[in-house]
Amino acid sequence: MIAFMYRIPARQIIGGPRWLEDDRYDVEAKADKKYIVDDLNTMYQNLLADRFHLKFHIETKEANAYVLTMDKSGSKMKVSDQPSNYDLPINFSGLGAMNGTRVPMPYFCWMLGQLLQGDERPVVDMTGLTGLYDFHLTFLPPGLPQQQLDQLPAEARERPSLFDALKEQLGLKLTARKGPVQYFVIDHIDRPTEN
């Protein structure tokens, strides 16, 4: 829950008691109206603070990472002029086909980190891009087993790697190197009381 709601890989959450990894909880919550994703995340973060008494701080350390920068060709993404809606910023329209609408770079980096989680390197945003962006990205998903690759249609097997697709289609460059990685350090957390 913490990793998803704070958009930080679980491997970057440190501290806290052992039960955090072992206990499972069902959370039932209902919003009083439609909210954008960021607002829902904030509400859930408040729930974690209220019910679990979660207290934390963020530490930044140099560590192995994928660093996302602008390619020399420049950004090929469209600055979004669409009104705010209640959809997720990134949706998949098939394996290796990503559609972004009003996507902020921190969210995009988090999603890239999810796609590359097998490498155990977070994606760090060093693009300098501060707006919201629309884009379409098609790529051969990383880490697919050979059996799954063999079942893909020929068009999908011929797609570029995620790294090449970022450069060619979006004007972004993803490089494996040391970078400023944020760690979510748990200072205090309690098991929640029953309702």
Q: pLDDT digit string (tens) for 89-133?
A: 999 988 889 999 999 999 999 999 989 988 888 999 999 999 999
Can you list the positions of beta strands (E) in 35-105?
Answer: 55-70, 78-79, 90-92, 97-104
Own/partner contacts of 162-169, CB < 8 Å, gap of 24 or more, are: 162/112, 162/115, 162/116, 164/139, 165/137, 165/138, 165/139, 166/68, 166/137, 166/139, 167/71, 167/73, 169/76, 169/135, 169/136, 169/137, 169/138
Contact 87, 146 (CB under 8 A): no
Contact 192, 51 (CB under 8 A): yes
Can you give the pTM of this predicted structure? 0.79
Q: pLDDT digit string (tens) for 127-160?
A: 999 999 999 999 998 888 888 888 888 888 889 9
Taking the alpha carbons at both ends of the chain, their separation in whole angstroms is 19
